[in-house]
Chain A
Amino acid sequence: MASHFPIPGKRFVIGVPYAWLFVFFFLPFLILLYISFVDMGESINPFKPIWDPQTGILSLKYENYWSIFRDGEGGDLFKTIYIEAYLRSIWYAFWTALLCLLIGYPFAYFIARSPASVRPALLMMVMLPFWTSFLLRVYAWKGILADQGVLNQILMGLGITNEPIQMLYTNVSMLVGMTYVYLPFMVLPLYANLVKMDVRLLEAAYDLGTTPFKAFWLVTVPLSKAGIIAGFMLVFIPAVGEFVIPSLLGGPENIMIGRVVWDEMFTSNNWPRATALAVVMIALIIVPLAIYYHFTGDAAEPRK
């Protein structure tokens, strides 16, 4: 469309975000990649240069990656704390995204189906939590879920339990916190998708003998596939690397990959391994995603 009419400044407008991504995403990523292939540094240098001009030795270190997959020389493949942390992170990120979808879909559905006049107010309420500090909101969950917290007080007050139930510092509290924080990222793309849907398609389904419940599964859900995928990815991807919420709400035994990277970086001061962990994490997320989009990208957005 635009190619027929040269628009002045078009390249500039498109170029700015690309330049931004290049300088602040791609170049840092190259630095990350570079560090992941060098040796640990000594004293104040976190890493050694890849080429030592004094000795003339070029040292590409694959050990940073090897050590992620294999524990020492004789260790079993894939039986490392890193792989465990990756799998655990992906597992909980998956559950976070799934819970967000289960809670967020009805939410988005009813906002999209409510009268146009009240929709902006309802959407505002979805985004309202962003107005307060993220940390404050996560700490508030501590107050709710702690042994002497609001929820336990209520349960004991009602006589449902005599002793406080351990809720904080468990997988449950971590999932609650993650789901709570990431919910808007699920609701917004789903809403944007559902509000576009032609309600006459539902009428057509009713007309052809489909009950409203079945029409929801046969028409609404398939047509919102693009929104479901977008919302799922928007929650899943940041949730895999989430560091703050598992640290504040999660149990001590369940170390997520974000925490592992942090520890390697700041406790062990092992920058090469920390960056190698980060590179593997990116690969773990981007590669399946790219394959998925390659095969379904076209079908995900149904045209009219």
Chain B
Amino acid sequence: MAEAGPKEGYLVTEKLVKRFDEAVAVDEVSLSIGKGEIFALLGSSGCGKSTLLRMLAGFEKPTSGRILLGGQDVARMQPYERPVNMMFQSYALFPHLNIWENVAFGLKREGLPKSEVKQRTDEMLGLVQLTPYAKRKPHQLSGGQQQRVALARSLAKKPKLLLLDEPLGALDKKLREQTQFELVNIIESVGVTVVMVTHDQEEAMTMASRIAIMSKGRVLQVGTPEEIYEHPKNRFVADFIGNVNLFAGKLSIDEPDHCAAETGIGVIHVGHGVSGTLNMPVSIAVRPEKIEISKQAPDAVGPNLFKGRVKEIGYLGSYNTYIVVASDGMKVKITEANTSRQDLSGITWEDEVFFWWSDGAGVVLRD
């Protein structure tokens, strides 16, 4: 999506391509990232996100295209010449050096005076709250502490661009949630521009201000987490981010402010126009949590009301998941928050139920 942030253009990739022999790993990727932004590259493994990150770091030379950082083309610069630092997946801390020496490693290479190296290193260790651990070796620290060392090391040289490669990938789930916010707080307090790579959508959505969804070397959509969740541009993005029900059909009404499609379960109305042609194949994407479910018909009948039979119920604590088989046999996934005890508990297996959603809930996808 081209809706530009106010400070875009600090890091720009122009038609960046990376080919390994015949395989195209990164295919004409053009991005524009603002100063101080936390930008996430999200995709499943093999989508090219790691290759793109490695090109930003300088470990891979682009086949073609440019990388502009603060107006300077860095695409052909060596990794040790770039004002870019990376926090590696599983950290790549130097096992033969202690924590202090790990953090000071990059500063010493700059040929700074000793006092300055010491001051900056101490400052970084303080920032990640690891001052008491300065003399320890990396293997003596927990995973979360190692991650903070890696962060301190990559921030020590005040890089213009910080790269995070699966920053939370090596931590267990509980620690992840806590670390996510900690990481963002530290990054924001420093004010560095960040590009991170992850396959975990939750991680991307919590940490990043904008996300690029990648598949097969291409960027499919760029936007804020909300934009991508609420307005996915195509089936892949809708399916990749969160859960979604996709109803395939043909466009039957197409007005500027609303449209409708004939699908297997009936006509679905959507509250936005698509400016396509009638009868073109489309998919309507509806998120499970936007669908209401009840044994009784709702009082006010909206446009999208259907009937089905409950096939599965999953109790997940904070919410319930229902799989409802619709008239055409399609399995529709519905989730309801577990706030009201009474009216939902009545639904059980094989019940005939009504399910419906407002016309603002669906999104029309062309491909």
Contacts and interface: CB of A to CB of B under 8 A. Distances in A.
Interface of A: 198, 200-201, 203-211, 214, 218-219, 222-223, 225, 302-304
A214 B59 CA distance: 17
Contacts of A214: 109
A200 B88 CA distance: 8
A198 B138 CA distance: 15
Given A203-B59, A203-B79, A214-B109, A209 B95 contact: no
B92 A209 contact: no
B57 interface: yes
B96 A223 contact: yes
Interface of B: 57-59, 78-80, 84-86, 88, 92-96, 105-106, 109-110, 137, 139, 153-154, 157
B163 to A, nearest CB: 9
22 contacts: A198-B92, A200-B88, A203-B59, A203-B88, A204-B88, A204-B92, A204-B93, A205-B105, A206-B79, A207-B84, A207-B86, A208-B106, A208-B157, A209-B106, A209-B109, A210-B109, A218-B105, A219-B94, A222-B96, A223-B95, A223-B96, A304-B139
A260 B137 CA distance: 48
B95 A302 contact: yes
B57 to A, nearest CB: 6
B79 A207 contact: yes
A210 B78 CA distance: 10
Interface of B is mostly: mixed
Nearest to B109: A209
A20 B151 CA distance: 52
A198 B106 CA distance: 19
Given A203-B92, A204-B92, A302-B96, A209 B110 contact: yes
Question: Can you list the 9 inter-chain pairs with the closest CB atoms, starting with the nearest?
Answer: A208-B106, A209-B109, A204-B92, A302-B95, A206-B79, A200-B92, A303-B139, A222-B96, A206-B80
A304 to B, nearest CB: 6
A198 B58 CA distance: 18
Contacts of A208: 80, 85, 105-106, 109, 153, 157
A225 B97 CA distance: 13
Nearest to A222: B96
Contacts of B85: 207-208
Contacts of B110: 209
B94 A204 contact: yes
A211 B80 contact: yes
A169 to B, nearest CB: 44
Contacts of B105: 205, 208, 210, 218
Nearest to B89: A200
A206 B78 contact: yes
A210 B82 CA distance: 11
Interface centre among B84, B88, B93, B110 (most CB of A within 10 A): B88
B139 A209 contact: no
Given A207-B58, A223-B95, 12 more contacts: A204-B93, A206-B58, A207-B154, A208-B80, A208-B85, A208-B105, A208-B153, A208-B157, A210-B105, A223-B96, A302-B96, A303-B139
Contacts of B154: 207
B220 to A, nearest CB: 28
Interface centre among A198, A206, A208 (most CB of B within 10 A): A208
Contacts of B106: 208-209
A302 B95 CA distance: 6
A193 to B, nearest CB: 13
A214 B92 CA distance: 17
Contacts of B93: 204
Contacts of B57: 203, 207
A222 B95 CA distance: 10
Contacts of A302: 95-96, 137, 139
A100 to B, nearest CB: 23
Contacts of A211: 80
Given A209-B110, A210-B109, A201 B78 contact: no
A218 B105 CA distance: 10
Given A206-B79, A208-B109, A209-B80, A201 B139 contact: no
Nearest to A214: B109
Nearest to A203: B59
B136 to A, nearest CB: 12
A108 B4 CA distance: 53
Contacts of B58: 206-207
Contacts of A200: 88, 92
Interface centre among B93, B94, B110 (most CB of A within 10 A): B94
